[in-house]
Amino acid sequence: MINKAGRNIPDEFLVNGVEAFQGQYYSHHKEYTKASPTVRAFVDPGQDKVVPSLQEVIKKSGLQDGMTVSFHHHFRDGDYIVNMVVETIAAMGIKDITICASSLGDAHDPIVKHIASGVITGISTSGIRGSIGEAVSKGLLKKVAFIRSHGGRVRAIETGDIHIDVAFIGAPTSDAYGNARGKGGKSDCGVLSYSMVDAKYADKVVVITDCLVDFPNFPPSIEQVDVDFVVVVDEIGNPKKIANAMLRFTEDPRELIIAEAAAQVLVHTPYFKDGFSFQTGGGGPSLAVTRFLRPYMEKQGIKMGFALGGITKPMLDLLNDGLIRTIVDAQDFDLPSIASVNSHPSHFEISISQYANPFNKGAFVNQLDFGILAALEIDTDFNVNVVTGSDDGILRGAPGGHVDIAAGAKCAILVAPLLRTRIPTICEKVTTITTPGESVDIVVTEVGIAINPKRQDLLEALQKVKLSLPLRTIEELKEEAYALAGVPEKIQFEDKVVALVEYRDGTIIDVVRKVK
Amino acid sequence: MKNRLRRTMMFLNAQKASLVKDAYVYKPDSIIFDLEDAVAQTQKDSARIALYNALKSIDYKGIELVVRINGLDTPHFKEDIRAAVAGGIHTVRVPKTETPEDVLAAEKEIEKAEKEFGVPIGQTLMMAAIETPLGVMKAYELAKSSERLMGISFGAGDYVRTMRTTRSAEGVELLGARTQVVIAARAAGIMCFDTVYLDVDNMEGFASEVRLIKQLGFDGKSIISPKQIPITHQIFAPTQAEIAKAEKTIRAIDEYAKDGIGVFTVEGQMIDIAMLEGAKRTIELAKASGIYEGDLS
Amino acid sequence: MLLKKNAIAGTLESSDVQITIEPSHEGIELFISSSVMNLYGKQIKATVLHTLERLGVESARVTVVDKGAVDCTIKARVECAVFRAAEIKENLPWGVRM
């Protein structure tokens, strides 16, 4: 059937309660009973949780063919955990495993051979890139993959849509009883937000660390009461790729033009007042917005009530200069942020449920005033694609928190260049919808700013202001992109569906088909 | 158009496809497509053809389009001029001009090309780049040598070596040439532009230099990176006090003009109709900088 | 247009296209590879053929390695390669065949 975003969802997937996307707030007040894990009591104080090897711990966990394992992505491109565990699983002859990852990236290319061989037959993830993305797009994964937002993953776990048999939680430090933290080791990542739901809902929880510390490793991000086993390995990841020494503001003049205009737009909306809340990621243009925001805040005596992220040093600078009151943190990108979280009195670690889960009683995204987001493609209905390549339709991206932030924020601002080389960012119809147009309020490119016609209030507020870039319709932006690059052909796909793009509430917003 | 805002004139290597296709997003007042120093000897033809096609296809949104042709002592300049004029270039920048004959030699080719390609004769403007001591000495004659000249430009590149000195932060070694060029331009009634600043990472040093040359009287600066544009426009923007004074001047002159009066006093300040042009330029600059909030049109 | 030798124009940099032309007698043979083949493959082919036609090139082996160049860049590189192959250095037919 054609869903509310205008995409055709094959009926074969709309079974067992799965619905097609019906609108961003369709599931408001939906009632459900939470799923729960089958837990094994650890009563005998004389017993030990530490297991000498990955192979042993997998045996002890009772992992069998057809089960589901889970991972977080706090180690980003420096992660060794996924590859290590999958190699060991394969070597043990276990197969037909589903991976429930918060995200997968280029660092995980080595598991492609296990997809081809049938060790891994299912994937649920936000990010899906590199060889894994290609493999899935080419139809090599046996089962249809699930692309979920960060909030949507938590929802899926808590409702029982996905059941984790064994969670593997990489931790920079852990004590022998399983209290795990993102700090104090050789490859710190700051927080362990993505794996908090895994620890609470998986049947078996395995903490993998390269730095065993004294008991109790407090305050723990992952608690001993949820952990079955602890394994010590040589290296959980590459510290240089886990955390940047320091993320710098972009110097690219085009990105600066976009960021400056986005900041201008932001400060002229009615939501820019003392106590406003703000979210930004680690990417070039979105981070640069904070730099341009600062003078306005200083001049008008406006402080940020809270910042949500994705935290980097520029945000810490604002915190330390008294311009932000509180930072709530689900991911640290650089060493200063890692040092600051849980030690600065106003910088707090939160779980991904608290961050973006649509099915709890109110996540942080619902309290957001502004979200600055990127995009691979935006169409004339303001729908956004962040998951498939616009030039070849191959899975290569991640909804991440994009969908969640756009749904929750009062003003969702997309920043993107008009073209990337010859490829138009603004187009007629996006290849794949991850974020529906109704969630997107403003689009800022280096040639102009488009406001979603649904936001007449924002249009009126911004028409009165002299901005550094002109206000234009989204169609005009598309026309300008096509005038320079030419009108693109449509990418050809086969009929076979290789991945479902699940909206944060579990409905299906789009499908990804096999590339030709 | 001979008289227009030219605070920033951004050099662009005409051979670089990625830069040429949308340089307008950086909003310089002028773009100078370089066929000369930026382009390798073996790629002169390619850069020229790329320029022609860019001019024919891309909408540069009202930015002035300039070509820096190869020197008159090279085999390239005639074809450079043909390609540029055929493409519809606004202004031809002649490098290393030293005598009026240099300007006239280029002008001759421009006129030939205008005739060949059906461009109204005289439409293509010129600018002369002064880069040598002799050029500095002849600045006034150069500036007066052609009706097409909208301005002269000082280029410090090789100049400093020829002068047997080196470039310093304060630029005292360039003072003589800079002031000479400004004086010559003003005496001839045309515009003047200062040399490029090569250290694109040193924004403070760049800003200092822009403030200096603005104070010397230059109309604008040659730019080599989009990063240098916003700061130049900011420095050239008039202060609110200057804008207020300009508004007062224009309104008063308008008022008094009705009674045929050309010189008068307003709030103790003498105002004379000759000040109108300067006042109008201030308002124009203010508008272009995006800071004008008044209602003078 | 008489092509006398092999010639190459353009670069493999992003947003550019490298065109190699070899004289031949078998009409136009086109070999195109592009980083945006799915989106603009047809348009690249059309632009190259149209440019060759305007220049009066009836026969050539043309190899196109495209890195996302826009049409006017493709046209410029084809023209440059053709004139290099024809060893024509000046008095190009600006505005007439170009």
Q: Where are the domains of chain B?
A: 8-236, 240-288
Q: Is residue C78 part of a domain?
A: yes
How far apart (Å, rounded) are the C-alpha atoms in residues B195 and B222? 6
Tell me which chains share at least 3 CB pairs under 8 Å with chain A: B, C
Chain B nearest CA to C14, separation (Å)? 7
CA dist., res. A322 & res. A303, Å (int): 8
Q: Give pLDDT, residue B294.
A: 81
Would an 8 Å CB–CB cutoff place A263 in contact with chain B?
A: no
How is domain B8-236 classified at the CATH fold level?
Answer: TIM Barrel (3.20.20)
Q: Where are the beta strands (DSSP E) in A126-177?
A: 145-147, 166-171, 173-174
Residue A321 CB: number of other CB atoms within 10 A? 12
Task: Collect contacts of B228-231 with beta carbons under 8 A, ≥24 apart.
Answer: B228/B8, B228/B197, B228/B200, B228/B203, B229/A253, B229/B8, B229/B10, B229/B26, B229/B27, B229/B28, B231/B203, B231/B206, B231/B207
Q: Which residue has the tokens 């030039």?
A: A391
CB A413, CB A265: distance < 8 Å = yes
Cβ–Cβ of C42/A489 closer than 8 Å?
A: yes
pTM for this model (two decimals): 0.93
CB contact B17 to C (< 8 Å): yes
Of the segments A287-291, B59-63, B292-296, which one has the largest average pLDDT value? Answer: B59-63
**CB-CB under 8 Å, B78 with C79:** no
CB contact under 8 A, C40 and A488: yes
Report the chain B residue with the minimal C-alpha distance to residue A251.
B227
Enter the tokens of residue A515.
């590339």
Cα–Cα distance measured from residue B159 to residue B155, given in angstroms and rounded to the nearest whole number: 7
The whole-angstrom separation of Cα C7 and Cα C89 is 13
Burial of A28 (0-12, 13-18, 19+ CB in 10 A): exposed
What mean pLDDT is predicted for residues C75-97?
Answer: 96
For residue A37, give Cα distances in angstroms to A30, A201, A498, B27, B59: 22, 5, 29, 60, 62
| Residue A447 C-alpha, separation from nearest chain B C-alpha, in angstroms | 6
pLDDT score at B15? 96
- Tokens in use for B124? 């293509």
ipTM of this complex prediction, to 2 decimal places = 0.97
* Closest by Cα among B245, B194, B202, B246 to B221: B194
Q: How many residue contacts between A and B have a Cβ separation below 8 Å?
A: 22
CA distances from A310 to A171, A342, A350 (A): 19, 15, 11
- pLDDT band for position B68 (cuts 50, 70, 90): very high
Write phi, then psi, for A362 (nearest 5 degrees): 130, 105
Q: Which run of H or of E encompasses B66?
A: strand B64-68
CB nearest A491 (choices: C38, C68, C69): C38
Q: Which fold has domain A253-492?
A: Glutaconate Coenzyme A-transferase (3.40.1080)
Residue of C nearest to A422 (CA): C68
- Best mutation target, C12, C73, C74, to test chain B (most B CBs within 10 A): C73
Q: What is the pLDDT of residue B253?
A: 84
Q: Which of A254, A446, A484 sits opposite B21 (nearest CB)?
A: A484
CB contact under 8 A, B16 and C13: yes
Tokens found for residue A93 = 């002859």
Closest residue in C to A393 (Cα) is C38
Q: Tell me how long chain B is.
A: 297
Residues 6+ apart with CB under 8 A from A22: A3, A4, A507
Q: Report the alpha-carbon angle A340-A345-A347, nearest 5.
A: 50
What is the sign, positive or negative, of the torsion defined by CA atoms of B69, B70, B71, B77?
A: negative
Would you mind telling me the total number of residues written for chain C in this entry?
98
CB atoms within 10 A of CB A96: 15
pLDDT tens track, chain A, 516 positions: 999 999 999 999 999 999 999 999 999 999 999 999 999 999 999 999 999 999 999 999 999 999 999 999 999 999 999 999 999 999 999 999 999 999 999 999 999 999 999 999 999 999 999 999 999 999 999 999 999 999 999 999 999 999 999 999 999 999 999 999 999 999 999 999 999 999 999 999 999 999 999 999 999 999 999 999 999 999 999 999 988 766 777 889 999 999 999 999 999 999 999 999 999 776 777 788 998 999 999 999 999 999 998 899 889 999 999 999 999 999 999 999 999 998 999 999 999 999 999 999 999 999 999 999 999 999 999 999 999 998 899 999 999 999 999 999 999 999 999 999 999 999 999 999 999 999 999 999 999 999 999 999 999 999 999 899 999 999 999 999 999 999 999 999 999 999 999 999 999 999 999 999
Question: Which residues of C lie closer than 8 Å to B, measured between beta carbons?
Answer: 9-11, 13-17, 69-73, 75-77, 79-80, 83-84, 89-92, 94-95, 98
Contact A390, A377 (CB under 8 A): yes
3-state secondary structure of A311: strand
Q: In what order do the strands lie in the sheet with A426-427?
A: A384-385, A377-379, A426-427
List the one residue out of B236, B171, B164 whose CA is nearest residue B198.
B171
Q: Evaluate whether B237 touches B289 at the Cβ level (below 8 Å).
A: yes
> In Å, how far is C61's CA from the nearest CA of chain A?
25
Residues forming beta bridges with residue A125, ordered by sequence position: A147
Question: How many structural domains compose chain C?
Answer: 1
Q: How far is A492 from chain C (nearest CA, A)?
A: 8
A464 reaches B (C-beta below 8 A): no
- For residue C14, how many other CB atoms are within 10 A of its CB? 14
SS3 B245: helix
Model confidence at C40: pLDDT above 90: yes
- Looking at chain A, the domain(s) classified CATH 3.40.1080.10 span 46-242, 253-492
Q: Mean per-residue pLDDT for B269-287?
A: 85
| Residue C97 confidence class, pLDDT cut points 50, 70, 90 | confident
With CB atoms and an 8 Å threshold, state whether A486 touches C40.
yes
Closest in A446, A466, A483 to B25, CB measured: A446
Instruction: Choose the closest CB to C70 out of A422, A488, A492.
Output: A422
Residues of C within 8 A of A483 (CB-CB) are none
Distances (CA, A) of B140 to B3, B99, B156, B172, B188: 19, 10, 18, 22, 7
| Residue A489 to residue C40, Cβ atoms within 8 A | yes
User: For the ranges A476-480, B168-172, B183-187, which has the lowest average pLDDT?
Assistant: B168-172
Task: Enumerate the residues of chain C whose CB falls inside 8 A of the CB of residue A385.
Answer: none
- Smallest Cα–Cα separation from A366: which of A323, A396, A415, A401? A401
CB C76 to CB B56 under 8 A? no
Give the residue among A339, A49, A344, A59 at the shortest CA–CA distance from A172.
A339
Q: Is B18 on the interface with C (CB under 8 A)?
A: yes
* Sign, CA torsion B70/B74/B78/B80: negative
Q: What angle (nearest 5°) sits at the alpha carbon of residue A465, between those of residues A462 and A470? A: 75
C-alpha span between A65 and A356 (Å, rounded): 32
Answer for the pair A345, A366: CB distance below 8 angstroms, yes or no. no
Distant-in-sequence, close-in-space partners of B215: CB < 8 Å, separation ≥ 6: none
What DSSP state is assigned to residue A395? B
By C-alpha distance, the chain A residue nearest C70 is: A485
A481 and A426 Cβ atoms separated by less than 8 Å = yes
Instruction: State the Cα angle at A306 between A302 and A308, rounded to 5°.
Output: 130
Per-residue confidence band for B251, with pLDDT thresholds at 50, 70 and 90:
confident
The neighbour count for residue C39, using CB atoms within 10 Å, is 25
Tell me, yes or no, if A325 comes closer than 8 A to chain B by beta carbon. Answer: no
What letter represents residue B265's amino acid? T
Assess if residue C49 is contained within a domain: yes
Q: Is C72 within the bounds of a domain?
A: yes
Q: How far apart are CA B65 and CA B55, in angstroms?
A: 8
Interface test with B, best of A249, A256, A423 (most B CBs within 10 A): A256
CB-CB contact of B154 with B120 (8 Å): no
On chain C, the residues whose CB falls within 8 A of the CB of A488 are: 36, 39-40
Instruction: State whether residue A125 is helix, strand or coil.
Output: strand
Indicate whether C93 belongs to any domain. no
C51: containing domain: 7-85
User: For A164-279, where are the alpha helices, taking DSSP H only?
Assistant: 196-201, 239-242, 253-267
Closest CA to B230 of A445, A257, A252, A469: A257
Q: Does A447 touch chain B (CB under 8 A)?
A: yes
CB pair distance less than 8 Å for A423 and C68: yes
| Contacts of residue A99, Cβ cutoff 8 Å, sequence gap at least 6 | A68, A69, A70, A71, A82, A86, A120, A122, A123, A124, A125
**Angle A253-267/A284-300 helices, nearest 10 degrees?**
40
- Is CATH 3.40.50.720 the classification given to domain A46-242? no
Interface residues from chain C to A (CB-CB < 8 Å): 14-15, 35-36, 38-43, 67-71
User: Domain with C42 in it: what CATH number?
Assistant: 3.30.230.10
Residue C80 domain-assigned?
yes
Answer whether A257 touches B (CB < 8 Å): yes
Tell me which of A137, A392, A422, A428 to substitute to probe the interface with C (most C C-beta atoms closer than 10 Å): A422
A385 contacts A432 by C-beta, under 8 angstroms: yes
pLDDT-derived band at B291 (thresholds 50, 70, 90) equals confident
What are the angstrom distances between the C-alpha of A203 and each of A53, A200, A222?
Answer: 20, 9, 15
Cα distances from A155 to residues A74, A160, B161, B286, in angstroms, run 19, 8, 70, 54
Contacts of A290 (CB under 8 A, 6+ apart): A278, A280, A314, A315, A318
Looking from the CA of B117 toward its CB, the CA atoms found within 13 Å total 28
Which residue in A391, A421, A484 is closest to C38 by CB distance?
A391
Q: How far is C91 from chain B (nearest CA, A)?
A: 7
H or E element at residue A207: strand A204-209
**DSSP-based three-state secondary structure for B211:** helix
Is residue B94 over pLDDT 70? yes
What residue of A is the nearest CA neighbor of C13?
A421
Kind of pairing between the strands at A180-181 and A173-174: antiparallel
